[in-house]
Amino acid sequence: MDSRISRRAFITWCVVILGGLCFPNMLFAGPDITIGESEDVEFIDLQCTIMEVHARSKYLIVGEKKIELVDFREGNQRYITMLRDSKGETIPLSSFKKGQWVFIRGFKFSDGRIKAREIYQLPGMVDMRKYPFFKEVPVWEPVTVE
């Protein structure tokens, strides 16, 4: 089965699966997250080790791939990459170090860019089926901006 999904099918999937929550809006918001009419996007997950952390530029190199963190506004809502430990608790980007195992769920664009919706710090290479965030995509709750 082809893992690439058309833009319309992807948006429909997000709305149906997540009950019409806001994360499909990510595809339209912000100058750095746009999708053209004919562009395909792939919803991906990775379990790899961190090779580099670039906190100032807000990206990681994981499994030889650049993983960009999301940060955009939609009205008075701000959506950012969810950074969590293996228990699901929010942690800062500074908690991530070279050599650590992570689980990443995000979007791969046709030009090869990967934007992380969520990144989980793991205690090592683990059986992901034991973690609730692997089985269910958590709600992407925006931060209210005034």
CA neighbor of 91 nearest in space, from 127, 118, 114 = 118
pLDDT tens across 75-128, in order?
888 889 999 998 889 999 999 999 999 999 998 988 899 999 999 999 888 877
Evaluate whether 47 touches 103 at the Cβ level (below 8 Å). yes
Mean pLDDT, all residues of the chain: 74
CA neighbor of 45 nearest in space, from 119, 129, 124 = 119
pTM over 0.75: no
* Boundaries of every domain in the chain: 43-144
Secondary structure tally for the chain: helices H, strands E: 2, 9
With a CB cutoff of 8 Å and minimum separation 6, the contacts of 22 are 74, 77, 79, 140, 142
Just give the CATH number of 43-144: 2.40.50.320
